[in-house]
Structures are given as C-alpha cells and as structure tokens.
C-alpha cells in the first residue's frame, strides 16, 4: 500500500488546518506537534519512514528525536516475566531465564 502523504495533518496544504511546519521542528513546541500527530491518519507510516530513514530532527509520527532514539536501544528485562528471577541472559535477540527456562524475543 502506498501512503498518500497529502493526508498528513502536518501538510500545510491539508484543508483549513495548515499548521506551521516550524511546530514540528521546535523542541519547545513538541507537545503541540505530538498532539497533532495523535490525530493524524498516516501517523504510523510517518513514524515508520522516520525510523527507516534515520531522520534525526523533528517530530515524526508523534515521536521526537529522544523518543525515536530510545526505540533504537534494545530493551532488556531485569527479571523474568514468568518466575521473576534475575537469572536472565541475553544473546542480543532472545533472553532466557536460567531458573524456569522461559525465553522471549527482544
């Protein structure tokens, strides 16, 4: 499916909304941009594009630079979700609990 970028609420040509593009690139206004993105019909496509292309600046798909940077770090559990043990080992893609044997993807 091809994304119709003209449907984006950030698009200055979108009906009467016409938001100033600076809203999406001014850190002090990121909360406003995120609010606009939360209502956008192509929000997830926008976020996918920003992540795929490594776009370093601005709010894309409801996430600012810091939010997107956090997504790039792997998430590691401190405790097993099954038995709550801390005997957890990771190989980069899968974590395994040595106590109960439960494993999960990260």
- Both 16 and 65 in one domain: the answer is yes
pTM: 0.64
- Both 106 and 64 in one domain: the answer is no
Burial 51-75 (b: 16+ CB within 10 A, else e): eeeeeeebbbbbbbbeebeeeeeee
Average pLDDT rounded to a whole number, residues 87-101: 83
Give how far the C-alpha of residue 106 lies from the chain's centroid of Cα atoms, to the nearest Å. 16
- Both 58 and 98 in one domain: the answer is no
The domain of 25 spans: 5-72
- Both 59 and 12 in one domain: the answer is yes
- Both 48 and 83 in one domain: the answer is no
| Mean pLDDT, the chain, integer | 84
- Token code pair at residue 25: 């690139």
Spatial neighbors of 82 by CB under 8 A, at least 6 apart, are 97, 100, 102
Whether residue 62 is predicted with pLDDT greater than 70 in this model: the reply is yes
Q: How many domains does the chain have?
A: 2
How far, in Å, CA of 103 to CA of 89, rounded? 9
- Both 66 and 79 in one domain: the answer is no
- Both 90 and 42 in one domain: the answer is no
Q: Which of 61-70, 72-81, 83-92 comes out lowest in average pLDDT?
A: 72-81
- Both 12 and 46 in one domain: the answer is yes
């Amino acid at each position: 499916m091809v994304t119709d970028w003209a449907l984006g609420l950030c698009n200055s040509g979108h009906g009467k909304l016409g938001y100033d593009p600076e809203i999406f690139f001014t850190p002090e206004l990121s909360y406003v941009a995120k609010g606009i993105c939360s209502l956008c019909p192509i929000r997830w496509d926008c976020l996918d594009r920003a992540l795929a292309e490594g776009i370093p600046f601005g709010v894309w798909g409801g996430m600012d630079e810091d939010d997107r940077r956090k997504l790039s770090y792997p998430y590691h559990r401190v405790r097993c979700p099954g038995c709550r043990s801390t005997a957890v080992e990771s190989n980069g893609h899968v974590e395994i609990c040595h106590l109960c044997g439960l494993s999960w993807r990260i």
